[in-house]
């Protein structure tokens, strides 16, 4: 029985590709084995629908079917002895050389030869589609930065591999990057088959500083002061990102007090503005005293009976 794939899908010979696709999806869903378990007739119909779509859904195979029918739709394969043969859907096959001789017998420049060239090409093989351009895949690298490099910015040399061999890339790290921040360097990873390049992503790992602590765009530093400096006040030198600064410590400054140095922090991202530096006062009493020093402190205690715990919450509760 001669198969008519158009009839199988229920479409006309002038049907568009979209009409063929819609008809196939509808019938494949209707006769799918999962929806018709243990139904041999539905399974056979499902296979017919699949075969019809494989032919009519391919423009070249559809053209062969329209001209030669189902038996004319075939493909090149490798024979049992490794020879190249063309096999039709009906099961018949012929060697590629014999097939070319067969068409040549009708006249080298005749219409039959042109049919052979149209479907199989001059070499007897179907031309393959050129590979599609592919965008390069984004590549992520981890870069280690010192505290100063993250704060002030830096230029790093990144070594990249590739088909053309290793290459070195200079990358500018902007000022103010933070730990874990990613920097995108666009167009550095080559694509495939002339596709657009991908991007290089640098994830910054910032090493901790010896005495600065960063919190956002602000930095903090613990500065020890003596008892007499805290009591009487003093001018003290403190480190900053811009070098040493002299600040005035007010008399009576308690331990833990914070002194704000505006604009001496980290540069804000995408701006010329900077965060602040906070000097955290830590009063450090002397570990050893001379006899004279001890007498002076005892005299102060006698003359100035100051109890800093009087206003503590636990004493306030006790007074109620």
pLDDT tens, residue by residue, 62-99: 888 887 665 555 555 555 555 555 555 545 555 545 54
Same domain, 250 and 282: yes
> Which CATH number is 152's domain given?
2.60.260.20
According to DSSP, the β-strands at 277-283 and 139-145 are unpaired
> Token pair of 6, please?
């158009």
99 and 180 in a common domain = no
Give the model's confidence band at 122: pLDDT under 50 very low, under 70 low, under 90 confident, else very high.
very low
Mean pLDDT within 33-51: 88
Q: In angstroms, how far is the first alpha carbon of the chain from the final one? A: 108
Contact partners, residue 241, CB within 8 Å, separation at least 6:
151, 152, 212, 219, 264, 265, 266, 277
Which of the residue ranges 179-183, 193-197, 215-219, 243-247 would you say has the lowest mean pLDDT? 193-197
User: Do 66 and 100 belong together in one domain?
Assistant: yes
Strand partners, 280: 222, 258
User: Which pLDDT belongs to residue 254?
Assistant: 95
Number of domains in the chain: 3
Cα separations in angstroms, 59 against 46, 53, 214, 316: 22, 11, 65, 92
pLDDT in tens, 246-299: 999 999 999 999 999 999 999 998 888 999 999 999 999 999 999 999 999 999
The model's pLDDT over 198-219, given as tens digits with 9 standing for 90+, comes to: 999 999 999 999 999 999 999 9
Average pLDDT over residues 179-184: 94
- Domain range for 59: 5-120
Closest to 28 measured CA to CA, from 39, 38, 36:
36
Q: Establish if 9 belongs to a structural domain.
A: yes
Instruction: Dump the DSSP string for 146-176.
Output: -HHHHHH-EEEEEEE--TT--EEEEEEEPTT
pTM of the model: 0.55
DSSP letters of 279-290? EEEEE---S---
What mean pLDDT, rounded, does the chain reach? 82
169 and 252 part of one domain: no
Asked whether residue 20 falls in the same domain as residue 115, the answer is yes
Residues 103 and 149 in one domain: no
């Amino acid at each position: 029985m001669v198969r008519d794939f158009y009839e199988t899908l229920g479409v006309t010979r002038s049907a568009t590709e979209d009409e063929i696709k819609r008809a196939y999806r509808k019938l494949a869903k209707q006769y799918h084995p999962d929806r018709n378990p243990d139904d041999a007739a539905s399974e056979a119909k499902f296979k017919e629908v699949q075969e019809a779509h494989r032919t009519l859904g391919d423009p070249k195979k559809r053209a062969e079917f329209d001209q030669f029918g189902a038996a004319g739709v075939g493909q090149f394969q490798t024979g049992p002895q490794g020879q190249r043969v063309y096999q039709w859907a009906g099961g018949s096959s012929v060697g590629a050389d014999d097939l070319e001789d067969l068409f040549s017998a009708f006249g080298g420049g005749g219409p039959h030869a042109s049919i052979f060239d149209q479907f199989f090409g001059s070499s007897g093989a179907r031309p393959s589609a050129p590979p599609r351009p592919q965008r390069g895949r984004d590549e992520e690298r981890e870069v280690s930065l010192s505290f100063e490099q993250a704060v002030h910015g830096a230029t790093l040399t990144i070594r990249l591999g590739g088909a053309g061999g290793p290459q070195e890339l200079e990358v500018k790290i902007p000022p103010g990057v933070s730990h874990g921040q990613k920097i995108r360097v666009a167009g550095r990873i080559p694509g495939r088959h002339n596709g657009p390049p991908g991007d290089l992503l640098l994830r910054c790992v910032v090493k901790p500083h010896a005495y600065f602590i960063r919190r956002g765009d602000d930095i903090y530093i613990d500065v020890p002061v003596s008892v007499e400096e805290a009591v009487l006040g003093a001018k003290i030198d403190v480190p900053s990102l811009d070098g040493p600064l002299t600040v005035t410590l007010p008399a009576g400054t308690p331990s833990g007090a914070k002194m704000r140095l505006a604009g001496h922090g980290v540069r804000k991202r995408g701006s010329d503005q900077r965060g602040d530096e906070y000097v955290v006062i830590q009063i450090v009493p002397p570990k050893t005293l001379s006899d004279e020093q001890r007498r002076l402190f005892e005299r102060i205690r006698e003359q100035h009976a100051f109890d800093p715990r009087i206003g503590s919450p636990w004493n306030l509760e006790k007074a109620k």
